[in-house]
């Protein structure tokens, strides 16, 4: 009898597509297709689940309609990675909420051993309340302190497709955003896979 990981049952995806990582902060040799590249046993729960994006899209295209990646959204971050995975240009989506800020802080904590030479771009709403300005500035300082180069821009993006298009156009290699966009992202990837505006560089980090 096959014993499934307690986390694999939360996903629509086949368990064979999932890799689990347990390090509090990933090791310098990390590569998403190889759990041994950042092997730790100190944590009971995974700190990251990685999924091969192309294999996932091939699986999605075996169905008539796009499907969400998870049956029930779990708090463990998911990395949808392309074969040419790199952290050379990070694209952070900050929407002005405490949840979004915490997501970025958690990403930095998990990946900081790997992003010292990375370029980073933070996209923030054109308008945020004065009460959020301090938080926004703290995030900029945090990202700047852990990456080689940081840009901060304001756009009124409201759809995951806007961030995806920006990432493709500006040669970003990882989009860091919320799992709230997961279903819409699956639809976009389903329809544009290997199309004219497809990017073989852009991976996705999704979390709560």
46 in a structural domain: no
Q: How many CB atoms lie within 10 A of CB 193?
A: 15
The CATH number of the domain holding residue 115 is 3.40.50
Element counts in the chain: helices (H) and strands (E): 5, 8
Q: How far is CA 110 from the centre of its chain?
A: 12
Q: What is the DSSP letter of 38?
A: G
Count of domains observed in the chain? 1
In this prediction, residue 203 carries a pLDDT of 94
What pLDDT does 194 receive? 58
Q: Measure the CA–CA gap between 29 and 63, rounded to whole angstroms.
A: 35
- With the CA atoms of 83, 89, 94 and 99 taken in that order, what torsion angle do they form, in degrees rounded to the nearest 10? 50
Residue 167 lies in a domain: yes
Determine, yes or no, domain membership for 143. yes
Distances (CA, A) of 158 to 46, 94, 128, 161, 193: 30, 11, 14, 9, 22
Query: Residue 192 is inside which H or E element, if any?
Result: helix 182-192
3-state secondary structure 111-145: HHHHCCCCEEEEEECCCCCHHHHHHHHHHHHHHHH
Q: Helix or strand or coil: residue 80?
A: strand
pLDDT in tens, the chain (208 residues): 344 566 666 777 778 888 999 999 999 999 999 989 898 877 778 899 999 988 888 877 776 665 666 666 778 899 999 989 999 999 999 988 888 899 999 999 999 999 999 999 999 988 888 888 899 999 999 999 999 999 999 988 878 888 888 998 999 999 999 888 877 887 777 776 655 556 789 999 999 8
Contacts of 28 (CB under 8 A, 6+ apart): 113, 114
pLDDT at residue 72, rounded to an integer: 67
Task: With respect to residue 51, please indicate whether it lies within any of the assigned structural domains.
Answer: no
Residue 25 lies in a domain: no
Note whether residue 5 is domain-resident.
Answer: no
Residue 1, pLDDT score: 34
Residue 156 falls inside a structural domain: yes
CA gap 145, 169 in Å, rounded:
26
Range of the domain at 144: 56-207
Judge whether 45 lies within some domain: no
Sheet holding 174-178, edge to edge: 18-21, 48-52, 78-81, 203-207, 174-178, 89-93, 119-124, 149-154
Query: CA torsion 29→31→36→38, rounded to 10°?
Result: 50
């Amino acid at each position: 009898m096959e014993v499934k990981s307690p986390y694999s049952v939360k996903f629509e995806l086949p368990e064979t597509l999932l890799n689990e990582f347990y390090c509090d902060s990933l090791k310098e040799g990390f590569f998403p297709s190889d759990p041994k590249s950042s092997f730790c046993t100190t944590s009971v729960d995974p700190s990251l689940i990685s999924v091969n994006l192309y294999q996932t899209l091939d699986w999605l295209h075996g169905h008539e309609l796009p499907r969400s990646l998870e049956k029930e959204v779990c708090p463990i971050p998911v990395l949808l990675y392309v074969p040419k995975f790199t952290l050379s240009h990070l694209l952070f989506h900050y929407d002005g909420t405490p949840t979004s800020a915490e997501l970025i802080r958690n990403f930095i904590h998990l990946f900081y051993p790997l992003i010292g030479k990375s370029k980073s771009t933070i996209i923030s709403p054109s308008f945020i309340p004065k009460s959020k300005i301090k938080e926004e500035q703290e995030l900029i300082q945090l990202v700047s302190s852990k990456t080689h180069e940081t840009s901060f821009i304001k756009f009124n993006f409201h759809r995951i497709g806007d961030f995806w298009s920006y990432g493709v156009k500006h040669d970003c290699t990882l989009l860091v955003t919320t799992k709230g966009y997961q279903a819409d992202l699956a639809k976009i990837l389903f329809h544009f896979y290997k199309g004219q505006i497809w990017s073989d560089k852009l991976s996705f980090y999704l979390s709560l």
